[in-house]
Structure 1
Amino acid sequence: MTQPKLTVAMSESDRTLKLLSGARRPAGFEIEAKRETVEQIFINQISEAAYDVAELSLASYLIAKGGGDTRLTAIPVFLSRSFRHNAIYVRADSPLRHPSELKGKRFGFPEFQMTAAVWVRGMFREEWAIRGDELQWFTFRPERVPVDIPATLAEGDIFEALAEGRVDAVMSARRPPAHLFPASGEGGVIRRLIPNVWDEERAYYERTGIFPIMHLVSLRTETVERHPELPRLLYELMLDIKNQGIAAQLETIKNNSSDPWGWESVERSSKLMNDDIWPYGASANWSQIGKFMGYLREDGLLKRGLAPEEVFHPSVWHT
């Protein structure tokens, strides 16, 4: 008997590669991996529910859900998490050295609604005492979910705009190009705003317990209605893949990455984060999602907070 085939669209990482390659798959299903940039995956999934299973921006998913969109459900598998202190850039000759100095400045995002931008604006308010109306916001591509935003859509490339002085600072999830920002992070046309940014990020985690969620795993509702066992099967499979990936990073018989001190980094993170450096599951992450929904509401992007049963499929509420 032919097994049902799932279209799956995700960025490649140690959390996804075994699924995308077909080395691991949910029992009873075949996998058809779709190769797209993560930005294109988001556009396709949020606009058309194009894939049975797809990585998706946390912000876009929650905004769509809050607007009554029922085409997608989700599981608490968080394929991207990132501190975004390191993603704030200024010109190398800028006198600015801390986010608190940005009051009244021109600040650029790729999109206003993108998850990383929501986290950064929340930190502006909560960590650095700058209200949203105390900066001039600029964006550099159309919003993937139609929303009203207090930002001006600018032309051109976000990093070129910074280099040319058309904005004073930017936040970008993607690293700037090497001709503007070398691999060492020093000596380029632009630089990170915060000098000791890695220490700042660890201090933020120690103070808040937050390792910011960026992306979750969405499933097409029609697919789940045909296969109600799929969300739980997929959650358990991807949890196992993630745990195996972390274990592989700690194995010293070979270096699992090209970083000579990768083992030190994983051990340091494990010590700081009580041995759970990349938590999945609803219970371990719901308070953070609640805080993030508060940031969305403060930004005017979400009218009300959502309950767990509105965000995640019932089979994974108690994970």
Structure 2
Amino acid sequence: MSDKHRETPLSVVLGDHPHTRPLKNGTVPVEQVECHYPEFAPLPPAFARMVQDLAYDICEMPTATYLQARDAGVPVTLLPVVLVGSTHHRSLTRLPDGQDLDPSDLVGRRVGVRSYGQTTGLWVRGWLREEYGVESSDVTWVTTEDVHVAQFRNPSYVERSDRDRVADLLHAQDVAAAVLGPKALGGQGAGLVPLVKDAEDAGLAWIERHGTVPANHLLVVRDDVLNTRRDDVRAVYRALEEAIGSTAGERDDSPAGRAVTAGWSDALAACLEIAGQYALEQGLIGEPVDVAAIAEKAALLTD
């Protein structure tokens, strides 16, 4: 590697998580590599800039965005890290004083979601089909944002709203239910109730059935950076692996706590297989996901 490359900081976009802070504050150093950590609050604009402009060297990325970017030929490679994950049976919500709907009642109705490509929506539509027989096309999905991958075109059963927040769609009675991610549930979704009355148990049953926890945020690297600075990329990965290990005591045994991992595993392979199948069924991608090929590239980075 040239001295020029050594002198150029890597731009690494990571959300504000207990397991990423050690890298950002230098508690866990990236050996012999200078890193710059751009800050975003919220993170989604960074995801769009990464897949549309390749604006960063390494970037946290939602699972659905990664699958769509890969399908569209965006030159990024997965690093085998799960930064955020959980179950999502509680993510399908309604107003507490609204109609008491069962998930199977959503056929022919309107459901709000931030974007059709949102990862939480991917997982919700997956279990809706798997457990209740509700196809994606059975519902009109009303969105407040566009997908991150510019090449993607929404299916005909997706409608764009001019409202800013998904919860506003519910309060305006424009939708019967709404999909809200983990952070939104504690924010704009405060007071909303899940359609699945035993949501926590249903989520745990999904994990037991599939042998994995749904991943929401992964990590990718630009292919040109990987090709020219592979040792530096490995150093970032190893530092993050160390940070995830050193903060393990701060995570509980909930699905969200168990989701955070570094390294290729059967659970990560299963997660990508299922997410890929869901994405294909929902029209988010056009070709099946080759998890073996993803694993082969990941092995080059982690050996």
Q: Please classify the TM superposition score into its range, dividing by the shorter chain length.
A: 0.7 to 0.9
For 1:152, which of 137, 152, 159 is the aligned residue? 159
What is the CA–CA distance in structure 1 between the aligned matches of 2:193 and 2:234, rounded to whole Å?
43
Mapped partners of 1:100, 1:55: distance in 2:
34
Partners of 1:100 and 1:215 in 2: CA distance:
28
Mapped partners of 1:133, 1:226: distance in 2: 43
Q: TM-score scaled to structure 1, two decimals?
A: 0.82
Q: How does 1:166-315 map to 2 (within 5 A)?
A: 166-173=174-181, 174-176=183-185, 182=190, 188=191, 190-249=192-251, 266=252, 268-269=253-254, 278-284=260-266, 285-308=268-291, 310-311=293-294, 314=297
**8 Å Cα contact 1:232-1:316 kept in structure 2:** no
Equivalent position SS for 2:132: coil
Return the alpha-carbon distance in structure 2 between the equivalents of residues 289 and 76 of structure 1.
Answer: 11
Listed as ranges, the matches of 1:61-80 within 5 Å are 61-70=66-75, 72-80=76-84
Structure 2 residue aligned with 1:18: 22
Q: Which one-letter code corresponds to 2:122 in the other structure?
A: V
> Is the contact made by 1:3 and 1:28 (CA closer than 8 Å) also made in structure 2?
no
* Count of aligned pairs: 291
Once the 2 structures are TM-superposed, how far is the Cα of residue 177 of structure 1 from its aligned partner? 6.8
Counterparts in 2 of 1:116 and 1:142: CA distance versus 1, 3 Å? same
Does structure 1 conserve the Cα–Cα contact (< 8 Å) formed by 2:244 and 2:261? no
Summarize deviations over 1:111-161 as a string: whole Å, max 9, x none: 001111111111111122112222122111122213222301012121111
Secondary structure at 2:149 match in 1: coil
Higher relative contact order at CA 8 Å, sep ≥6: structure 1 or structure 2? 2
Where do residues 103-114 of structure 1 align in structure 2 (5 Å cutoff)?
103-114=107-118
Cα offsets for 1:5-29 (capped at 9, x unmatched):
1111111112211112222232110
Q: CA RMSD in A?
A: 2.5
Q: Is the Cα contact below 8 Å between 1:8 and 1:20 reproduced in 2?
A: no
Distance in 2 between residues matched to 1:126 and 1:176, nearest whole Å:
23
Q: Is the 8 A contact 2:116 2:154 kept in 1?
A: yes
Deviation string 1:62-97 (CA, Å, 9 cap, x unpaired) is 212112222x22201111112111221101122325
For 2:43, which of 38, 41, 57 is the aligned residue?
Answer: 38
TM-score for the superposition, normalised by structure 2: 0.86
Q: Runs in 1 of length 4+ with deviation above 6 angstroms?
A: none
SS at 2:184 equivalent: coil
Q: Deviations over 1:288-308 (max 9, x none)?
A: 201211111111221222334
1:298–1:181 distance in 2 versus 1, CA, 3 Å: closer
Q: 1:111 to 1:279 in 2, by over 3 A?
A: same
Residues in 2 aligned to 1:164 and 1:248: alpha-carbon distance in whole angstroms? 39
Counterpart in the other structure of 1:261:
none
What are the ranges of 5 or more consecutive residues in structure 1 without an aligned counterpart? 183-187, 250-265
State the shift of 1:286 in Å.
1.0
In structure 1, give the amino acid aligned to 2:260: W
Q: Structure 2 stretches of 5 or more lacking a match?
A: none
Q: Secondary structure at the match of 2:265?
A: helix
Q: Give per-residue Cα distances to partners, 1:200-242, cap 9 Å, x unaligned.
A: 2222222332310111111122222221123333332212211
Farther off after superposition, 42-51 or 1-10: 1-10
> What amino acid is the match of 1:79?
L
Structure-2 residue corresponding to 1:120: 124
Q: Secondary structure of the residue that 1:96 maps to in structure 2?
A: coil
| SS of residue paired to 1:175 | helix
* Percent of aligned pairs with the same amino acid: 22
Q: Quick check: which one's helix share is greater?
A: 2
Q: In 1, are the aligned partners of 2:51 and 2:74 still within 8 Å (CA)?
A: no
Structure 2 partner of 1:29: 33
